[in-house]
Structure 1
């Protein structure tokens, strides 16, 4: 379920002080009901691969592949545009009290690289010629006595090209990508829960 931006901005996440100039693009409640200590399982699901985009519906895979093919033609994803080249990693901005925070695991199959991981918060980043973006995942109380994941996309467009790019892909994100991603996350979470119950 898509949430108001305030669901991210009004929580005391550490990412606020690390990426203050990034815009909150999207905030989503993840279909991952759990308890207070289940964030590690969500992090594991994100980083060890959940079949995205290989197991996504055909229209999503088509759009995904088209994006990368267009990117190759236009040079959107060349090495010189990535984190550590066009932009510095946000890990270079970690405040002193987070200097020893673990960087955390990278995601498999996508170009995001981890910035830091805390007991209830994880951030990863990627960059190309159009945008520097952060995927932030937190673990929050659901208001009904349980907990769930919350995912936020933070973006810093690279000038007019980046702003135009973000507007261009918005309909595809809302109509195809996010709905399929939410369903896949939910299926992966439920499968993991059933496995845990079986192993117990």
Structure 2
């Protein structure tokens, strides 16, 4: 479910101190019934076990395939356009306590590099010729008392073209990608519950 930007900005996430020059593109919530305050690591593990974009439905895989193909043709995703080359990594901004915290595992299924992973929030980043983006995941108590997963996508577009690119892909995110991601991540949580309740 899409949430207002204040659902992210109103909470005391550590990511705020690292991204004052980024804007919030999306905030989304995922239902995790029965989840408690200490279940964020279990949720992350369940998401990783479920796989990345390659395991989503056909329309999403097609969109990602088209995007990677277009990026290859136009040079958007060259190594010289990534984190640490085209843009500095957010890890360069980490205070000492976050630098000492776990980064989180690398994942071949996700084209995002880990920045940090704590007991109730994590951040991963991606950069190319269009945008420097951060996926922030947080663990929040919902209205019914259960905890739920929240995702915020923070962006720093690369000039006018980056802004146009984000505007062009917005309908595909809202109508195709996020609904499929919601089904995958919520199903991952239910699978985790089933396995742990046996």
After TM superposition, the score normalised by the length of structure 1 is 0.94
Equivalent residue, structure 1, for 2:76: 76
For normalisation by structure 2, the TM-score amounts to 0.95
Moved over 6 A (4+): none
State how far apart, in whole Å, the 2-side matches of 1:174 and 1:38 are: 27
CA shift, 1:96, in A, is: 2.9
Note the C-alpha offset of 1:57: 2.0
Give the SS at the match of 2:108. coil
Number of the residue aligned with 2:45: 44
Runs of 5+ in structure 1 lacking a partner?
none
Deviations 1:51-75 (A, max 9, x none): 3323322212111111110110011
Q: CA deviation at 1:49?
A: 4.1
Which range moves more in the overlay, 9-18 or 109-118?
109-118
Taking the aligned partners of 1:14 and 1:53, their CA distance within structure 2 comes to: 27
Shift of 1:106: 2.5
- Residues 41-100 of structure 1 show CA distances to partners (whole Å, capped at 9, x for unaligned) of 112123x34233233222121111111101100111000000010011101101233231
Q: What are the ranges of 5 or more consecutive residues in structure 2 without an aligned counterpart? A: none
Q: Distance in 2 between matches of 1:12 and 1:63?
A: 34
Computed over aligned residues only, the root mean square deviation of the Cα atoms, in angstroms, reads 1.2
